Amino acid sequence: MLELLFLPALIIFGLSFIKSRKTHKPLAFISFFILIPTAELLRLPKPFHLLGDYLVVDDLNAYVLFVSSIVGIGVALALMTLDKHVEVSKNAYRRFYRFFAIFWVGLIFSILSNHMGIYWIGLELATLSTVYMIKTNHSNAAHKEAWNYMIVGAIAISLILFGIILIYASAKPILGEDAMNFNLLLAHAKEIKSPFLFEIGFAVVSVGMFVKMGFFPMNLWLANIERASFYPVAALFSGILESAVIIGFFRFSKIAMEVNYDHLFTFVFIYTVLTIFIVSFLIFRTKDFMRLFSLSGVEHMALIALFWVSGGTFAALLHFGAHAFLKPALFLSTGVLESNGKYRIAGALRGYKGKKGTLFWFLVSLFLLAVISLPPSPMFFSEIYGFGAMINVAKHGYHLLAMMAAILILLILLSIIFYKFIEVYQSMKYEGEVHSKKVYASELFSLVIFAFALIALIMPPVMNYLKGIL
Amino acid sequence: MIIYVTTIAVLLLLAPLLLSFIKSLKMVLLFKRPSSLLQGYRNFSKLMKKETIISQETSSITTYAPFLVLSPLLVTMFFLPPVVHGAFYVSFVDAFTITGLLSLSTFFLMLLGLDSASAFGGMGSSREAFISALVEPAMVLTVFSVSMMAGDLGIGQAGVNLAEHFPKEHMASFLFAGISFFILLIAENGRIPVDNPETHLELTMVHEAMILDLSGVYLAIIETAASVKFVIFASLFVSLFIPLGLQYSAPVAILIFIAKLFGVAVAVALLEVNTAKLRLFKVPNLLGISIVFAFLSLITFYVLGA
Amino acid sequence: MVDFFIGLFLASLITALFTTRLYRLLMWYSFNSFTLGVLALLIGMKLQDNAMLITGIATILIKAVGIPYFLKSFSQKFHFVRQITPEIKVQYAIMLIPAILVFTFYLAEPITNMIANNSNYVAISISSLFLSLLLMMEHKNVAPKIIGFLSMENSLFLLGITATDGMPMLVELGIFFDLLMAIIVINLLFHREEMKNA
């Protein structure tokens, strides 16, 4: 099972050394093989011990892994036509595949790990390989941002390690060497002798994760990096890397909930509301697609974290799934929209002719409207459930009115974002000149996959599965 | 009491030898033919015999100042920690007094440089003032921190306490103080990263610039003062930071002490050969490191107790 | 003895903050890692922990010898700027560094109360974490930033061996592996840069 999971990534890694141009097509189809083990893992009785106590599959990470695998397939499909949209040298193209494979391996480790150390190692591996993926773009901006990512990412990752060490130190007296184990830590969270040490460790870990997800005060660094690099990098960031980061956050905060729920909730609440406050105005000021989507990704990650700590597990997971499908789809279609350096928003959706073109602009408008949670979108349901969970939390305390006010403010902020997206959409569809543009079958195929995945999310069986995850 | 006086006499006698030793060791390391170890004494006797010429422009300060440069240093010699266990020592003199006496000597040296009204003298004095202004806070902090570790503010008592109970538990702050003091030793004695004692190039001189107008007996006194100052710093370093070997009988202990002094001289010579002289405006960087370490030593001691 | 080496560890990091030459900085980094390796060996011997002995030897081999050597060869291959002047002026650094130290020592105090043994070392490793961040901040060139990142790794390693009496072997080895990966990626980044200039 373990071999099957890593097989597609390893094959991609191996084939990336072959110089022939023909290898790209099989690579995309090889990536489909990841569906077999992930679907199998979804079906198997949980918890399933994949590798001793180190890699354990439960409902939560099987779901996250499945979501990220679909994203991986979509990105691998879209990668086939990367050179049609941007200038990329052959060597850089092959290197991109190679580091994509390393990135994937690292994140599969991270997502499946039941061990803080392995989680960190996988995340670090993925971070380092991303640096090179950013660098494949031969522009000065990309070069600068690659270093930027190296430095800031390294700081964020080191913060996470720092926090992990503190948590380990707090739990070692009761658990010994097993204090790195998430499940055991969760089971013995109440017995931790120095909760203060644990909470400091948790705060440091979550600040590291928040920096990596672009929360306050590091709102713009991800946007700049995604702007400077090729569009699949952005898709990988939002689809796979952030899945791994957020699952880490889920696991750590689960333990922190046991230790001291009030501290956790206050900390995350203030952090996320501040983030959404700043991001909504940043979104209002953006002038290009990449930054727009990237900042909206930050907003959604903040919402997911907020829903999760409010106890809205189902809402958080639904929102997470919807975001993980929508954002890569939008980033990939951005690559098509901005094909060959046409960065203008006005009229970006015009000029797509024929069956493929029509399908493309239809899908893109669908995604655009779904990401701002218009009703049939899964995000609509998740936000309703999430805000419901927040009110439920407040009901038990004495802060119901404050919570209502906070939700109201959040809704106002979200409506700012809503307004901006609608404006962008109108400008894309009804303004500007008409040029004839082209869209390739492989990209369209990946967008269709994302669309189906999105629809599948609101199907009752999937909803039931998500409700079953604790 | 006898050991006390003997030690001071030995240190005074040793002073010129140490500087000549550094010089000849440096020459060996640079593959030159080394000068004699006795060169310091030879210079002294030669200068004593020579005629003393005083510039017409000077005031009476030039005639007093050399003695006032030497005498605080001689007084300081009496306050150093003992070299032999059980010997007589002055226990009540603290960091401020020692630093004050040393800077009194520096003050008269600067006055001497200014008095001759030559361009070089003024330049040398201003540079010396610049350096010693940075040295003093670090010096006070360092010695203070070491005496805190030893549990007594008096330097003599601190030296004894350190020899009896070496502060193993405060090793980290002890190390920081040691690094800081070694930098001070280099800076205050005008050794290479800060000042080059061998050159007479006007751009680089500090110490030499101030005594450019002196001759004869006065020059002999000032050079003696320079060597005495080095001995004071070296023996402070040795007895505060390498407090070993005091428990043996008097001759052995004094020999060990002298060996340690030569060890410091070797360290200085090695450093001088391996580094280039800093630009004057980079000197604050070096002294800044010294101040940081002195402060670090204090706070590590206080906050962490390490 | 452990105190002495931990002092040397912090001392070499502070000296690195004032360094203006790349090779000197590499030398201080190497010295820093060397003291770290010796610390791991000493503590490992005290705790009779074989895993820590192995990581100590690996630290000395990889961090104190290997990485400085590779970085030096990179710098010769890709013609780094070897004069690295800190952006923060020395007079401010003199005030800033003690301020950081005092701040972190007091910050670490509640933590150190909870850790039974080696509590001081935790404070020192946290302060060295902040100092490495300062090292990253005060330089504009890339090479010293890398050194800052690596010394941050060092201080986390110190925290690992002192606060927790050693992390599991698997994690330590994983960290080493990631470090090597980082060096490869850095090499590739410089490689591209050189190709473009040529």
Cα B196–Cα B199–Cα B203 angle in degrees, nearest 5: 85
Chains B and A touch (3+ CB pairs under 8 A): no
Question: C-alpha distances in angstroms, B222 versus A245, B120, B192, B228, C124?
Answer: 70, 17, 19, 10, 45
d(CA B77, CA B96): 15
The token duo for A297 is 């990704």
pTM over the 0.90 mark: no
Question: C-alpha distances in angstroms, A290 versus A233, C30, C191?
Answer: 11, 42, 28
The number of CA neighbours under 13 Å toward the Cβ of A389 is 22
If interface means Cβ-Cβ distance under 8 Å, which residues of chain C face chain A?
110-111, 114-116, 129, 133, 136, 142, 145, 149, 152-153, 156, 159-160, 163-165, 167-168, 170-171, 174-175, 177-178, 181-182, 185-186, 188-189, 192-193, 196
Q: A169 contacts in C (CB within 8 Å)?
A: 115, 163-164
Chains B and C touch (3+ CB pairs under 8 A): yes
Give the count of domains, chain B: 1
Question: Which B residues, 268 through 297, put their C-beta within 8 Å of a C-beta on chain C?
Answer: 284-285, 288-289, 291-293, 295-296
Probe site for chain B from C5, C120, C121, C127 (most B CB atoms < 10 A): C120
Nearest to B175 among C8, C93, C120 (CB): C8
Q: Min CA distance, B177 vs chain C (Å)? A: 10
Nearest to B295 among C2, C20, C98 (CB): C98
The token duo for A10 is 């390893």
d(CA C6, CA C11): 8
A57 Rama sector, left if φ>0, alpha if ψ -120 to 50, beta otherwise: beta
Q: Residues A243, A304: contact at Cβ < 8 Å?
A: no
Across the interface, whether the CB atoms of C168 and A177 are under 8 A apart is answered: yes
Three-state SS string over A31-69 comes to HHHHHHHHHHHHHCCCCEEEECCCEEECHHHHHHHHHHH
The token duo for B40 is 């310091």
Domain range list for chain A? 2-468
Query: Which 8-state DSSP code applies to residue C105?
Result: H
Cα radius of gyration rounded to whole Å, chain A: 21
Cα C54–chain centre separation? 19
The token duo for B174 is 């002890």
Nearest to C156 among A147, A151, A158 (CB): A158
Q: Which residue of C lies nearest to A196 if distances are taken between CA atoms?
A: C111
- For B32, the domain range is 2-304
Instruction: Inform me whether the C-beta atom of residue C117 falls under 8 Å from chain B C-beta atoms.
Output: no
Cis peptide before A217 (omega within 30 of 0): yes
Nearest to B288 among C6, C94, C120 (CB): C94
ipTM beyond cut 0.95: no
Cα A130–chain centre separation? 14
Instruction: Inform me whether the C-beta atom of residue A180 falls under 8 Å from chain C C-beta atoms.
Output: yes
Q: Which residue of C lies nearest to B287 if distances are taken between CA atoms?
A: C94
Q: Per-residue confidence of chain A (470 residues) as pLDDT tens digits? A: 778 888 888 888 888 888 777 777 788 888 888 888 888 888 888 788 888 888 888 888 899 999 999 999 998 888 888 888 888 888 888 888 888 899 999 999 999 999 898 999 999 888 888 888 888 888 888 888 888 888 888 889 889 999 998 888 888 888 888 888 898 889 888 888 888 888 989 999 999 999 988 888 888 888 888 888 888 888 888 888 988 999 999 999 999 998 888 889 989 999 999 999 999 999 988 888 888 889 999 999 999 999 999 888 999 999 999 999 999 999 988 888 877 666 677 777 887 888 888 888 889 988 988 888 888 788 898 999 999 988 888 888 777 888 899 899 999 999 999 999 998 888 888 887 777 778 888 888 999 999 999 999 888 888 888 888 87
For the beta carbon of residue A278, count every other beta carbon within 10 angstroms: 19
Subunit partners of chain C (3 or more CB pairs within 8 A): A, B
The stretches of chain C forming alpha helices (DSSP H) are 2-18, 22-47, 50-58, 67-78, 90-107, 109-114, 119-137, 142-163, 169-197
Give the count of domains, chain C: 1
Across the interface, whether the CB atoms of A158 and C160 are under 8 A apart is answered: no
Q: Which residue of C lies nearest to B286 if distances are taken between CA atoms?
A: C18
Q: Which residues contact A425 (CB under 8 A, 6 or more apart)?
A: A365, A368, A369
